[in-house]
Amino acid sequence: MIRYCKRCKAPTEHKESLVRKPSSYDRDKSIAGRCMLLIHEFINGGHYYNMNRYVTCTICGKKVLENMGNEFE
């Protein structure tokens, strides 16, 4: 997709990427914490809607967070 890049000051090719938002269970590195994270994500469907959408310029590499709309549309 072609978007305007503020760093390049020109319309350039961009790519999208989705990154999972950090959970409160991410800080617990124990086996129990990892299991709780898996269960929490599975039950709540977090692997589908707990995502941040980033758009990255392929020329300069500037990464911009572009979450659009409401969380539960």
Pairing of strands 51-57, 63-65: antiparallel
Q: Residue 16 in 3-state DSSP? A: strand
Tens of pLDDT, residues 22-64: 766 667 778 888 888 788 777 766 556 677 889 999 999 999 9
**The pLDDT value given to residue 45:** 67
Claim: this prediction has a pTM higher than 0.75: no
Going from N- to C-terminal start, the domains of the chain cover 2-65
Q: For the CA atoms of the chain, what is the radius of gyration? A: 16
The 10 Å Cβ neighbour count of residue 50 is 16
